[in-house]
Every structure is written in structure tokens, then in C-alpha cells.
Amino acid sequence: MGYYFMSCKSLDPTAQFPQMQIPTPQSSVNVPLDIPMATLANLANQAVPPGIFDEKGMDLGNGLIGDLNFSRNGMIQLAALDSQRLQVIFPLKIQGEIGLKPGGLRNLFQSKIPIDRVLSPVFVLDPKMNSNWSLGIDEFELTDLGGKMSFSALGMELDLSPMIRNEIRAFAQERLTSTPDLINLRPLVDATWNQVGRPVFVNFEGKQLAFSIKPDAIRINEYLNPTKGFHLDLGMIGQVQLHPAQAAPSRPFPLPSITTNSDTSNHLKITIPLHVTYAELDQMIRQSFEGQAIRVNKKYLFQPSNFRTKPYGDRLGVLMDFIATSEEEKKISGELFLAGIPVFDQEAKVLAFDKVNFNLQSSSSKARFGANVKRRKILKQLNQRMKFSLEEALEGSLEGIRERLAIQTPFADLMINELQVFPLGFYPTATGLEIQFKANGKVEVNWK
């Protein structure tokens, strides 16, 4: 890394600069999901109970009444007709008895006729995801009864198919289309979010921290794909909240209502803020210089101490006392102020400084002269020691995100691919140095 030097006189330790504007640590996740029809059918078969409805004294017309039980008779089949309509083949069994109404011929014919029929009605539905995490049906159409409901009685052939159609339509009107929150997905969503939304813990310089995502918006775009299944573009936008480990929230932040999503990309972009106080920076610098001195030339050793860090515009300022000791034990003391822009050394994975300059104050004219002559060497030596490893924080963030977003459900497994974490920016503030880490990756879903 090269160094850029300005005139020593241009660096004023007492100068005041405006507070840096720190970007809001926005984060977003967007996942395009193609839920296979086989998975949707599995969900439907688990959601629909074996018994559909049971009715006594059903008026069948033509003076007939029936005690009929409608139940599921096998596995429900699903197919997408276009981007909005879903075809459902629902195997149905109808069992019970049919007889005559009281009075008239009923007095002559007391026996009832047993009914045991199997049908495969075909429905066309228009499913819709609601903002409260429920699934509803906007439209319902019975296109084919999937069989004939007829029997012989008193020498007559009676066809109950129209009646069965009406009963199915009435059931759909009462139990399906009139109920906007037909299937409540909130428990499944909450169970997943309780895993994903919990704080992730990382360590930095012996301090354990936690971060969690506070979602500002949940966005969904949905449509049917005849070849791939039910497509969802599922997105979330939020902010990462930083907490001391002992003050980490015990539960995830609540999820907001659903809004429309126009993003079709697959990405994970999480910005993680890490705040290092100036007292902590001072301690890190002390540890870096502990027991070490900088050789300015063959004669003098430069020993800094009493480090005090502070903001200096977009640079980090470090004020330090020093004693330069010669081989003859002659000592020169003074104060040195160093300022540089915090940067990330990608190869070494350390926090380093660029565009470094310093100002030396000493009663010794010899010290001031020597500092100007040897400034490149002094700066190089200072920079070599003023590097702080970020590898632990980087690796901790990687593992925490991978672990938290490795989700396993009865229907699908989710994992993060191509995950990278790197410092996005360094911002000297009034209270310390804020480091914003960026986590990028893609989401992979394996459906069962």
C-alpha cells in the first residue's frame, strides 16, 4: 500500500471537521422460488382432512332425501393452467343412504337404498396470497364432476349428478371462496422466522457482539408457471441492529404485512455495523506497540505511549506522546499527532491506514528536524504496527450467517451459496470508529 504525504504544517491537531455522514445499514434478501406442483400437492394433501362434510336429511329433489358423507378418496392432484388458474383433481367418495320423503309412497316403501360412489371432480381455482400471510381463493369453478351419480329405484333411473354439482358448489361458496383466510401460513412463516431472525453472535478483539435484522418490508410477487409450479419472488428489506451480547433480544423482531415485490433477482445483501469505541481503539494500539520501539536511524529509538484516538474528518486521528532515546541515553520528548484514512487490507485481512500524515510537537528543534527528514521511515514503522486484524469478525459473521440461514423444513432445505463478508466502509464518529461489513451471497432452495 502506497503512502500519500502532505506538508507537515498542513496537519493541525486542533482542526475541527464536520461529522461524517454514516450510511444507514440497509439490508435486503430476495429469493425467486419455484415451488414444484408435487410440493404444493403434498401441502394440499396434508391440509385437507379425510372427511369433507356429512349431512343428514339432504333434500335431493324428486321426493328423495339422503344421509350422505363426502370424504377424500386418495391423493389430490394439482396442475397450473396458466399464470393465475390452478386445476385441482379431487378424488371423492360419497357414501350413505337415499330414501323417499315421509308420506305418499314412503308408507309403501320403507327401505333405503345404500350409496357408495367414487367421483373425481375437477376444479379450477384462482389462489391468492393475502397481506396477513394467509392463502385464499378468489374464484372456484367446477368443470367436470369426474363421474356419474345415478342409481335405479322403483324401476326408474335416477341421476343425482346435478344435485351433487350443486352441493359441491354450495360447499365451495360457503367454505372456500367466502373465507379469505382459507389456509393460515403464519405459523409456518413464524417458525421459519424464529430461526432466521434470531441474533447472530460474532467476536471482535475479545468482545462478543450480536446483530439481528429488523424487517421494514416483506415483498411478494406470485404467479403460476405451468412447467415449474407456483412461482414466488420473496423479498425482505430491513436494517441490522447491533447489540452487546448480553443485551441481545431473546426473540426476532415482528414481521410486517406483505407488500408487492417487483424484484426478480436472487441476492443476499446484509450490512453489519460494528462499533469500536475510541477507548477500545486506544487499547488495541497500546497492545500493538507494547514493548516495541521504532528505530528512526542508527542513533535514535522512538518510543510512543499514551495513545488517544479521535475523529479527524474522514480520517482517524491518533495523538501520542513519545520519547526518542539515543545510544548515549540522551532523550528527546514531545507529542506526535498522526491521521490517516481507515482502509481494509484485503490480503492481510487487517484494518490499516492510507493517506497518512503526522504533526510532531517538541521543544527540541533537533527532533522536529529529524522528524521531517525521517518522516517516511517513521510513517512506515507506525503503519506496520497500526494494523488490526478483522479476520475473527469476518469469519464469525460468515459462520453465523451460514448457520442461521441454513433452514430445514418438511418441504424444502435452504442454504446460502457464494457467501462473502468484507468491510464496506470505515466511519470515524464522535464516539468511535464504525465499521460496516457487507455480506453478499445467493440463496439456494432444494424442494422435497
Q: Where are the domains of the chain?
A: 1-35+185-448, 37-129+134-184
Choice among 175-179, 231-235, 341-345, 424-428 with the minimum mean pLDDT: 175-179
Going by their DSSP bridges, the two strands 207-225 and 258-260 should be labelled as parallel
Tell me how many degrees the CA angle 124-130-132 measures, rounded to the nearest 5: 145
Phi, psi (rounded to 5 degrees) for 126: -120, 90
| Longest Cα separation, the chain | 134
The set of cell numbers assigned to 181 is 383466510
* pLDDT recorded at residue 421: 86
What's the confidence (pLDDT) of residue 10? 59
Residue of higher predicted confidence among 78 and 374: 78
Q: Does domain 1-35+185-448 have CATH number 3.15.10.40?
A: yes
Q: Which residue has the higher pLDDT, 110 or 277?
A: 277
Confidence of residue 186 (pLDDT cuts 50, 70, 90): confident
CA 162 to CA 167: how far, in whole Å?
A: 9
Mean pLDDT of 234-238: 91
Name which residue leads in pLDDT, 391 or 91: 91
93 close to 64: Cβ distance less than 8 angstroms: no
Distance, in Å, from the CA atom of 402 to the CA atom of 398, rounded to the nearest integer, reads 6
Of residues 235 and 9, more confidence is placed in 235
Residue tagged 414444484 (cell numbers):
36
* Residue 110 pLDDT class (50, 70, 90 cuts): low
> Amino acid letter at 415?
M
Determine the pLDDT at residue 3: 33
DSSP 181-235: --EE-HHHHHHHHHHHTSPEEEEETTEEEEEEEEEEEEEEEEEEETTTEEEEEEE
- Residue in this structure with the C-alpha cell 367454505, named with its chain if needed: 175
Is 401 strand, coil or helix? helix
349/342 Cα distance (integer angstroms): 13
Closest to 404 in 3D by CA, of 393, 415, 417, 392: 415
CA atoms within 13 A on the CB side of 370: 21
Instruction: Please state the rounded mean pLDDT for residues 199-203.
Output: 81
- Please name the helix (run of DSSP H) or strand (run of DSSP E) that holds residue 403, with its range, or none: helix 391-404
CB half-sphere exposure, 251, CA atoms < 13 A: 5
DSSP result, 80-146 = E-SSS-EEEE--EEEEEEEEEPSSGGGGT----EEEEEEE--EEEEEEEE-TTSEEEEEEEEEEE-S
| Rounded Cα gap, residues 120 and 72, in angstroms | 10
Q: How far is residue 314 from each of residues 279, 310, 356, measured CA to CA in Å?
A: 19, 11, 12
User: Residue 275 CA to chain centroid, in angstroms?
Assistant: 22
Cell numbers found for residue 422: 468484507
Nearest Cα to 300, choosing from 376, 374, 358? 374
Q: Is the pLDDT of residue 104 over 60?
A: no
Residue 393: pLDDT band with limits 50, 70, 90: confident
In tens, the pLDDT along 23-78 reads 888 899 999 988 888 888 887 888 788 888 888 888 777 677 788 898 999 999 99
Question: 18-27, 195-204, 261-270, 405-414: lowest mean pLDDT where?
Answer: 405-414
Q: Answer whether residue 145 shows pLDDT above 90.
A: yes
Q: Whose CA is closest to 198, among 209, 217, 212, 188?
A: 212
Provide the pLDDT for residue 396: 77
Quick one: pLDDT at residue 319? 92
For residue 70 the three cell numbers come to: 363426502
C-alpha distances (whole Å) from 144 to each of 74, 82, 157 are 18, 18, 21
**Statement: residue 216 has pLDDT above 90:** yes
The two counts, helices (H) then strands (E), for the chain are: 7, 26
Q: Is the pLDDT of residue 232 over 70?
A: yes
How would you list the strands of the sheet with 294-295, edge to edge? Answer: 294-295, 300-312, 315-326, 331-345, 350-361, 388-389
End-to-end Cα, the chain, rounded Å: 50
The CA distance from 257 to 234, in Å, is 13
Distance in angstroms (rounded) separating the CA atoms of residues 87 and 140: 10
C-alpha cell at 433: 470508529
Does the pLDDT value for residue 8 go beyond 70? Answer: no
